[in-house]
Amino acid sequence: MEFEFLIDGALRKISLEKKEKMYVIRDGETILETEIRPVSENELMFLVGGRSSRVYIARDGERRLVFTGGRKFVVCESLHEAGHFLGGDERTPERGRHVKAPMPGKVIKLNVALGEDVRKNQTLVIVEAMKMENEIKSAIEGTVKKIHVAAGDLVDSEKSLIEIEPKR
């Protein structure tokens, strides 16, 4: 079977075929024959060339969280999911318009008012989570167009807090 995954945000193809008791991994030029044994719901044992490696895996919706050799990977199913995965990226201007809560928490303070001009990196809102204050800054220069929250509000992550009209 051919698979197309986004691993830590990068597109990768891999093929996995069952061949009797073994599996064949094809990754570009690399071909590996391996035995794969599920050890528990979250553990897979790979046996490649007589050498065993343990891989830990957990599922989050369409994403898989994989741990092997001391490193953690996020493996997504599709491009659609990739958008969700890259949700924290604020480089695109479209993203900068909608200022979202990066984590669940409580709005402590609004530092800007409706219609106010804001600079890039200006603190817009302060959201408290786990007893620490986190300053949510503007990714772009512009004007405050809408404010969706008030001080004291509990917000979920990805909740839109403020909308900024970018400066032309």
Q: How far is residue 104's CA from residue 22's CA, in Å, rounded to a whole number?
A: 44
Q: How far is residue 121's CA from residue 124's CA, in Å, rounded to a whole number?
A: 9
Provide, rounded to whole angstroms, the least separation between the CB of residue 143 and another protein. 22
Which of 47, 98, 143, 157 is the binder for another protein (CB under 8 A)?
157
End-to-end CA distance of the chain: 49
Site string for another protein, 10-49 (x = CB under 8 A): --x-xxx-x----x-x-x--x-x-x-x-x-xxx-x-x---
Q: How far is residue 56's CA from residue 16's CA, in Å, rounded to a whole number?
A: 18
Segment contacting another protein by CB under 8 A, of 72-80, 114-122, 138-146, 160-168: 72-80
Question: Is the distance from CB of 37 to CB of 49 less than 8 angstroms?
Answer: no
Question: Is the distance from CB of 141 to CB of 118 less than 8 angstroms?
Answer: yes
Q: Which residues bind another protein (CB under 8 A)?
A: 1, 3, 5, 7-8, 12, 14-16, 18, 23, 25, 27, 30, 32, 34, 36, 38, 40-42, 44, 46, 53, 55-62, 64-73, 75, 77, 88, 102-105, 108-109, 126, 128-134, 156-158
